[in-house]
Amino acid sequence: MSDIKITRGYIPGSIGRVVELHGTYYNAHWKFGPFFESKVAAGLAEFIGRYDKNRDGFWTASLEGRIEGSITIDGIYNTGKGAHLRWFIVSDALRGKGIGNRLIHSAMDFCRNKGYKRVYLWTFEGLNPARYLYEKHDFKLIEQHNGMQWGTEVIEQQFERRFE
């Protein structure tokens, strides 16, 4: 899909659109409601408000000027816990067309170039296409347990990737 544009950094409307993508997908497929959507909105707004291009990464995938996917590397705690991969999503219109792979590749190249030693993410059991992409990019499952961090009980999973 050569007409998909991957952009690094904030662009006007990206916070709202990324929140919308998360809210609609996770409500339709997992029955996550306003707690989840407001958590995504607050967290993403806080991140963009402190975004540092030398430490953090925020990429969007757009088709004809409309954001259809995103991924974030939050590097604020890189020297301690590691860089945090967050807000990874691809719209139903583009899912399965290689856009998620391009986004993760961009994020991992950024981490490698920054010399980050560890990247981690939280997800939950059942997001099999995303898990496939994480494992394809050398992420390993390191922890799982029942939890409610998204407002609904799920089996939460933490994955990490270490760079040598």
pLDDT digits (tens, 9 = 90+) for 2-29: 799 999 999 999 999 999 999 999 999 9
Residue 155 lies in a domain: no
What pLDDT is recorded for position 40? 97
Residue 97 lies in a domain: yes
Residue 148 lies in a domain: no
Residue 61 lies in a domain: yes
Comparing CA positions, the residue from 10, 100, 101, 99 lying closest to residue 47 is 10
Residue 153 lies in a domain: no
Residue 162 lies in a domain: no
Which two three-digit tokens encode residue 64? 């004809």
- Count of domains observed in the chain: 1
Query: What are 59-96's pLDDT values in tens digits?
Result: 999 999 999 999 999 999 888 889 999 999 999 989 98
The structure's pTM equals 0.94
- 133 sits in the region (left: phi over 0; alpha: psi -120 to 50; else beta) called alpha
Residue 134 lies in a domain: no
Is residue 117 over pLDDT 80?
Answer: yes
Domain membership of residue 10 as a residue range = 4-117
Do 137 and 161 form a contact (C-beta atoms < 8 A)?
Answer: yes
Residue 113 lies in a domain: yes
Specify the CATH number for the domain of residue 99: 3.40.630.30
- Decide: helix, strand or coil at residue 134: helix
